[in-house]
Structure 1
Amino acid sequence: MKGELSAAMMKGEPAAWPPAALLLEEAADLLVLHRDFAAAVRRCEAGCERLGAGAESSAEVKCSLCVVGIQALAEMNRWREVLSWVLQYYQVPEHLPPKVLELCILLYSKVSEPQVMLEVGSSWLRDQTNKSHSEYGSLMELYLLHVLLPLGRFEGAEELVRGCDALDNEQQQTFLRTICERRCQWTQQEEMHSGAEEQQDAAAETVLGALSQKLLTMLTLIRRALRSMSSHFYTLPYKKMLLATFLLYLVVVRLDPASPTSLPFIYKLVQLFRQAWASVFSPMHRPPIQN
């Protein structure tokens, strides 16, 4: 019978789902032996849906199904879905079993997303019913070390430690010293980070200042060159400039280069233009152009 159920479930046939305890066994086999994580999640979901609230044995099976499901989702790199997936079976964070909460805290801490468990862990630890759990002290420590301190919530961590009746005075002092040490480390890291940013800003300002100085020097040189060119331009003979401009106008604008009759005349105008150009811009005085 079990072999038939296993074969049917491996084929993904919902009609063959067995009781929740057997689904748990199948899910564990799929996770560990077959490495079929998607199928393991389906078994866990089917088992949680079949279970009813109330019986202690059912609660234990449901918790184990969620543990297997969390591990299977993490193996598929679907860790972002873990918390919402678990809460659909427990509705509120306060009802999470200690083992499920522990696994969620460790998972989101490992993927460097401890803020996901910030409100969930706080709600669970504030609940009066949960304070009766034997695992309350260890979960408080886990939440403190893997959620509050990595997020820099030092004041909240101190309040949590002082208000925890599950800790004796020696344990409280140990945790408070740990919080103080982590606060000092956090402050030193912030100061080093601020110092590095200030150095980067100073270096950037130095580079920009040097570039600005070079640009200002370049603009000054360009202005002097333009001023020299303009003064030289104004010293050129007016008639020679007018002649050069008129010849350029005739060659480029008025004449039709495609006309055969214009070719000899264009050639002469080009020669005249070259002579006029040389006469205008040459430092030596050239004889006037012969007709």
Structure 2
Amino acid sequence: MSSLISTPIAPTSHTLLKPNRNTLLRGDSLLPKRLSCTRTRSSSTTRALLSTTKESVLKDFHERRALKIISGLQNLNKENVASVVTAADKGGATHVDIACDPDLVKLATSLTSLPVCVSSVDPAAFSAAVEAGALMVEIGNYDSFYEMGIVFSPEQILNLTKETKRILPSMTLSVTVPHTLSLPDQIKLAEQLEQEGVDIIQTEGGKGSSPSKPGVLGLIEKATPTLAAAYAISRAVKIPVMCSSGLSAVTAPMAITAGASGVGVGSAVNKLNDGVAMIAEVRSIADSLSLSTGRHIVSEKNTLRL
């Protein structure tokens, strides 16, 4: 029988957001005028850089062409993660999603220039991963918890979201809406998450689908729950929706047609045992979304400019 996970409240002290204890630096009125101006300019520059980074990370979502390859929330196998990241990079993906571990982030950023997203259900873990180079954080990829009989309530997800926003207010944030909720409840939660300032809503459903047919029919059956969620949620919120879980080259284009701004693919890639096969699978999905064609056109334009 499923039980609700009890998520601890993250500590208030975080590496990226440690309050300045120096009373002389608590307010601009206590600072020399020159120092106050310098601090203001520095703060403005930081906000501008964070805004530019977020725009860059979300660009493919706004263009409805994002393809995120997922290695798995609890996959700490460096060799497998390296293979998944390399496949994403060489296969034509736009983002890569890995476990929330600073060492894995450093490994990933050494292998690709794609934006690295880290997934966790512990907001306190995000700061170290962001320091290591992650450009996006995600509350989601719950599949491994379902296997342990653990599900997440809307209240828990909202609390996790609020805590993450408190810790990293300017970071690009994606939150997965559990397929264990009814579709009306998924829509309601998505609307609440949008109000909390979430940047991307991710859908799921592959684990809850048991195809009865082989081949293409089976692939479509498997993707039905997440496609239905993407269709319904994308019409209820204004922020991008990422359709994930149980997708393939056959069903990825259906997700975009249903209203998604991008697709997330995990087991179809990370369960393969061969790096070449991983690259081929990512390439197949990218081709189904016409991503490689778009990149080829951009490349040609850049060449002509030179």
* The two structures share one fold, judged by TM-score above 0.5: no
Higher percent of residues as helix: 1
**When you count strand as a share of all residues, which structure comes out higher?**
2
Comparing both chains, which one has the higher relative contact order based on Cα–Cα distances under 8 Å and sequence gaps of 6 or more? 2
**Higher radius of gyration, 1 or 2:** 1
Identify the TM-score tier after normalising by the shorter chain: under 0.3
